[in-house]
């Protein structure tokens, strides 16, 4: 008798569920009509006041400080996050794998180490970090959310995991993603769908959607996603979080599973999502300083650069910065709440004494065609191969059904056009030196993460507000700005749409349906400018917060 | 009437020849039976004593110093090299394009700048640099040595040329290469064959063969080659020169023409060949400090690192280093003169107080199969496309005739296997920490550049003693050690050969035929370790020189 993929998936998820201690589970789930579930961790009674205090930590640095000082033990901390992660999972279906025993054992080791030596293991000592399902943890299931991969276990740690452990982190769970990482939700046939805790009728975004939902509910304060077209930044932005899409391999990708392994025309990157911007910085610094290039042959030899963080190449700390605002990429005009977020940020920066100019988008349609060409270069063969293992059906919308697989020579031609394009794009950026008045090209570009707020489930999404950074390998840091307010974020008047994506966005947008949905933006810097981009985002974020208060 | 490719080539070369002033040409060429032509520049009477003094400069630094101090003007210097390059060309057929007028104009500008400001333009002020034919110089023919590309001119400078000009260099000629850069000689249908000035019956090596012959005759002291499997290092070694194969894009490749444009599975790199090791260092430092990443989207953001040059990661200046010697890669055992070069170097390093251990080659056959798989991935379609433009025939031996073009998905699988392989290779290197006694993995690997001395023309060559560095993207610096001495470099006894390459090398080797042919080795370091590799090569080179004197 053949077992159907549905039965395989059900058995797998049942087995996973049996690893979640019953006493951690909510006895009563909220009705599915309860859309905003953000208060439930506080109100459900499952979490002690200590648990709530720990998981409510204002920043990653404050949490690390309590661990360093011993106010809270690593066991206290991981226990609280395990409990809260289970609640988050019951509310949004965000987890894929749990390895709580391993995490508790690790936390005990860290506590013993600290009490024995008086030292911490590393800069991340005791910090719980959640991981997107694709990241390899030795001994833990490695399904990649494919039904056909059930039964596989990681036989080694990914290089990133090696470094996080060396730096003191505690790993405890993996999170949901879209099938094959190929679209902007958290949905696949094995684990099902992850919802947005702000409004469960909305998508959590993706492909790192489980991270978005988990961190959105503070079942984790810092997690690892991956980004090939926006997959870190979209879920971060859709849950009001901060995130970083750094440059190829600066966060080591080696020995992390991926879809289309060996696809190198545009490289997926790993990076952090966090409740606070300091989480992004602390993560990046700890990983860069963990010398990933000694373990990952693709990682550039770039330790954390404190001078560049202090804007050595951007006029220095306290100087005037010049930001370019991309209000419209020329293909899909953002809807009202996103435009409002841009206006707030622009006004905040002007008040803070910085310069702003308009960004002239560089050949958006051509860039997006190149990116889609690369996504589709194998004609979907990698995805079809994995789906065929179980017979599970294909989901999502980013890959073009029936795309023709290119030959190698055709791929070379495509890659060559991409290289010419990104050279021209760099020259385009450099040419802004004529407009800034600072003697430098624009320091950063501020643009939407998405043309709209988190959309409905199963609704195709235009992803080139994030994708252009993937094509050119620019560093980008996202930050939350506002949320949909129906009283001001009204519908636009109908107009002649430039294309279907723009029309679809307009038609999907409904101020009442999207009420409260978070809206974020990103600061984009050049390749290898992660440090400066983080610092600029701190400056922008502080300006926005100060502006919003007044 | 159709013009044959032969006629097109002849007309093109005639036109090029007409750009070489008649008064610079030798009135009488040496008989073709004169094989060693190295003395002819001194004896032919075409060069003044000043020309001979300039072109005989001991080092790049000493030449630059005379230019800085104004002992010699930039015009003096370029004039001498133009004259000597023409002689070198008549003896070996090494040049493809000449733009002497442009060079003299540039030199005049530099002299005027210096006399007006008292300053130099940059660290390379007045230094003549020759370029492999593929490098784009605005306004200069850009044939790529294809008959079908005749008539093309570069409409911009390559990024490297931009940086060399910014740093003060004088560019004056381009040099011959193998057809499509696809084999280790300097031979194509447009410009014909370049010979080795040590012995014109031998190959100059390649694909940067013209650079090897030109610099071998001091028609240039420093030139730019490219290396996808050994194409810088082979001609350097075959003409007794120094050279550097640095890591992908550290020397910017952007806007330099290439064969198989868009092939990114193993990236070709640009790099220097020079009569002296300081030329390699000066070139690398000037280019890295020229911030190539601001102009080339692929260049890593790595300025020259003086601390790493002083071996910060290898025990510091004056410390004991541990080198691993790869005597035999397990596939092709080197012939006697190469083994003797290894013995000399090993003994020299031991006497200089360094440690040496044996290098266990890492899966050589598998690595070479991966590299060849990548070379052949497009089934030769790029090459065939360019050849079809004129109907010129295919030359060379590195590509497999009739190779099947891979599909994109197959290329992904191949790239993925390559990535796993280089990760394992890195782990293999790191594991040597257990053997060195220094607390570090081996600091550098010393190995042949080629299993034999420069071979006969048209003779296939095993290239994996260089190719393994291309696959793993290791930094490698070559240095000359000795030359074939028939009294000691006798034939080996026949034996059971492991494969045809090994048998071919054995059969080709003839101590009398190869008498005087140069033999060089290389110091191989990890990715991004160019600075340390240059310093280690200085240490090794000094040890060998000191040992050979005693």
Q: Do residues B150 and B70 both lie within one domain?
A: yes
Confidence of residue B2 (pLDDT cuts 50, 70, 90): confident
> For residue range B376-413, what is the model confidence (pLDDT) as tens digits?
999 999 999 999 999 999 999 889 889 999 999 999 99
Pairing between strand A269-274 and A187-188? unpaired
Q: How many CB pairs under 8 A join A and B?
A: 126
* Distance between CA atoms of residues B179 and B398, nearest Å: 11
Q: Do residues A243 and A376 both lie within one domain?
A: no
Cβ–Cβ contact B136 with A under 8 A = no
Q: Do residues B330 and B262 both lie within one domain?
A: no
Place of tokens 């784009």: B136
Q: What is the CATH number of the domain that holds A354?
A: 3.90.1300.10
Confidence of residue A485 (pLDDT cuts 50, 70, 90): very high
CA of A165: how far to CAs of A130, A131, A337, in Å?
12, 13, 40
Does A276 reside within a domain? yes
Q: What percent of chain A has pLDDT over 90?
A: 98
Does A51 reside within a domain? yes
Residue B507 structure tokens: 């059969």
Instruction: Among B261, B294, B327, identify where a domain stops.
Output: B294
Does B356 reside within a domain? yes
Q: Do residues B330 and B211 both lie within one domain?
A: no
Q: Residues, chain B, total?
A: 550
Q: Vertex A178, ends A176 and A182: CA angle to 5°?
A: 145
> For residue range A173-182, what is the model confidence (pLDDT) as tens digits?
999 999 999 9
Residue B260 structure tokens: 């198989």
Which residue in A260, A415, A430 is closest to B262 by CB distance? A415
- ipTM of the predicted structure? 0.97
Q: Residues, chain A, total?
A: 550
Which pLDDT score, from 0 to 100, does residue A550 have?
Answer: 73
Cβ–Cβ contact A419 with B under 8 A = yes
Does A301 reside within a domain? no
Please identify every residue of B annotated as catalytic.
132, 207, 231
The candidate with the shortest Cα–Cα distance to B408, out of A381, A410, A379, A407, is: A407
Work out the angle between the directed axes of helices B464-472 and B408-430 (0-180°, nearest 10). Answer: 100
Which pLDDT score, from 0 to 100, does residue A1 have?
Answer: 64
Residues of chain A in contact with residue B302, where contact means CB-CB under 8 angstroms, are: 300-302
Confidence of residue B24 (pLDDT cuts 50, 70, 90): very high
Does A76 reside within a domain? yes
Largest pairwise CA distance in chain B: 73
Domain span including residue A81: 41-257+270-294
Q: What percent of chain B has pLDDT over 70?
A: 100
Q: How many domains does chain B have?
A: 2
Does B305 reside within a domain? no
Q: Do residues A377 and A488 both lie within one domain?
A: yes
Do B344 and B548 form a contact (C-beta atoms < 8 A)? yes
> For residue range B102-125, what is the model confidence (pLDDT) as tens digits?
999 999 999 999 999 999 999 999
> For residue range B163-179, what is the model confidence (pLDDT) as tens digits?
999 999 999 999 999 99
Does B307 reside within a domain? no
Work out the angle between the directed axes of helices A464-472 and A364-375 (0-180°, nearest 10). Answer: 80
Q: Do residues A287 and A318 both lie within one domain?
A: no
Cβ–Cβ contact A404 with B under 8 A = no
Give every CB contact of residue B6 below 8 A, 6+ residues apart in sequence.
Answer: none
* Distance between CA atoms of residues A71 and A63, nearest Å: 10
Q: Which residues numbered 312-341 in B keep a CB inside 8 Å of some CB on A?
A: none
Which pLDDT score, from 0 to 100, does residue A142 have?
Answer: 98
* Distance between CA atoms of residues A434 and A322, nearest Å: 12
Instruction: Among B294, B320, B343, identify where a domain stops.
Output: B294
* Distance between CA atoms of residues A50 and A454, nearest Å: 32
Q: Do residues B77 and B112 both lie within one domain?
A: yes
Does B299 reside within a domain? no
Whether residues A377 and B408 touch (CB distance < 8 A) is answered with yes
What residues does A522 pair with on adjacent strands? A447, A478
Task: Say if residue B347's pLDDT is above 80.
Answer: yes
* Distance between CA atoms of residues B5 and A325, nearest Å: 54
Residues of chain B in contact with residue A410, where contact means CB-CB under 8 angstroms, are: 408
* B374: nearest CA partner in chain A: A408
Q: Do residues A275 and A363 both lie within one domain?
A: no
Q: Do residues A89 and A156 both lie within one domain?
A: yes
Residues of chain A in contact with residue B425, where contact means CB-CB under 8 angstroms, are: 297
Do B444 and B523 form a contact (C-beta atoms < 8 A)? yes
Q: Vertex A196, ends A194 and A199: CA angle to 5°?
A: 135
Q: Do residues B135 and B42 both lie within one domain?
A: yes
* Distance between CA atoms of residues A524 and A143, nearest Å: 33
Whether residues B254 and A423 touch (CB distance < 8 A) is answered with yes
Mean pLDDT of chain A: 97
CA of A174: how far to CAs of A151, A224, A269, B160, in Å?
16, 9, 17, 45
Which pLDDT score, from 0 to 100, does residue A397 have?
Answer: 85
Q: Do residues B318 and B451 both lie within one domain?
A: yes
Q: Do residues B263 and B349 both lie within one domain?
A: no
């Amino acid at each position: 008798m053949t077992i159907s993929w549905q039965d395989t998936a059900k058995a797998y998820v049942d087995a996973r569920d049996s690893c979640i201690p019953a006493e951690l589970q909510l006895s009563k789930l909220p009705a599915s009509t309860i859309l905003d579930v953000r208060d439930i961790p506080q109100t459900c009674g499952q979490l002690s006041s200590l648990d709530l205090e720990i998981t409510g930590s204002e920043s990653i640095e404050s949490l690390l400080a309590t661990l360093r000082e011993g106010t809270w033990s690593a066991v206290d901390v991981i226990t609280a996050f395990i409990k809260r992660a289970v609640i988050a999972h019951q509310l949004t279906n965000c987890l894929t794998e749990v390895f709580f025993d391993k995490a508790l054992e690790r936390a005990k080791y860290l506590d013993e180490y600290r009490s024995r030596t008086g030292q911490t293991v590393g800069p991340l000592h005791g910090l719980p970090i959640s991981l997107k399902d694709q990241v390899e943890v030795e001994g833990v299931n490695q399904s990649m959310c494919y039904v056909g991969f059930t039964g596989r276990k990681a036989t080694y740690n990914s290089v990133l995991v090696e470094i996080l452990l060396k730096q003191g982190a505690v790993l405890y769970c993996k999170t949901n993603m879209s099938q094959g990482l190929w679209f902007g939700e958290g949905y696949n046939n094995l684990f099902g769908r992850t919802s947005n805790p702000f409004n469960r009728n909305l998508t959590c975004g993706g492909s790192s959607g489980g991270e978005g939902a988990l961190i959105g509910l503070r079942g984790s304060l810092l997690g690892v996603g991956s980004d090939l077209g926006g997959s870190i930044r979209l879920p971060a932005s859709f849950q009001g979080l901060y995130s970083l899409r750094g440059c190829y391999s600066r966060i080591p990708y080696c020995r992390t599973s991926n879809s289309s392994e060996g696809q190198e025309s545009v490289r997926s990157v790993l990076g952090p999502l966090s409740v606070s911007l300091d989480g992004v910085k602390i993560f990046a610094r700890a990983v860069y300083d963990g010398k990933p290039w000694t373990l990952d042959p693709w990682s550039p030899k770039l330790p954390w650069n404190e001078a560049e963080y202090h804007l050595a190449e951007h006029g220095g700390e306290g100087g005037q910065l010049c930001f370019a605002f991309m209000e419209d990429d020329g293909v899909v005009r953002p809807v009202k709440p996103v435009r409002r977020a841009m206006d707030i940020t622009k006004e905040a920066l002007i008040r803070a004494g910085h310069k702003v100019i308009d960004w002239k988008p560089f050949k958006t349609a051509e860039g997006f065609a190149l990116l889609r060409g690369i996504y589709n270069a194998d004609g979907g063969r990698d995805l079809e191969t994995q789906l065929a293992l179980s017979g599970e059906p294909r989901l999502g919308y980013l890959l073009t059904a029936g795309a023709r697989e290119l030959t190698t020579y055709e791929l070379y031609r495509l890659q060559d056009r991409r290289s010419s394009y990104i050279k021209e794009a760099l020259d385009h950026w450099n040419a802004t030196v004529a407009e800034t008045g600072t003697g430098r090209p624009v320091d950063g570009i501020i643009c939407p993460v998405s043309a709209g707020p988190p959309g409905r489930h199963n609704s195709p999404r235009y992803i080139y507000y994030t994708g252009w950074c993937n094509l050119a390998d620019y560093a980008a840091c996202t930050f939350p700005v506002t949320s949909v307010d129906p009283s001001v974020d009204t519908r636009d008047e109908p107009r002649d749409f430039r294309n279907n994506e723009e029309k679809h966005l307009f038609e999907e947008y409904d101020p009442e349906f999207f009420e409260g949905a978070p809206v974020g933006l990103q600061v984009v810097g050049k390749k290898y400018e992660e440090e400066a981009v983080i610092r600029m985002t701190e400056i922008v974020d502080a300006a926005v917060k100060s502006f919003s208060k007044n």
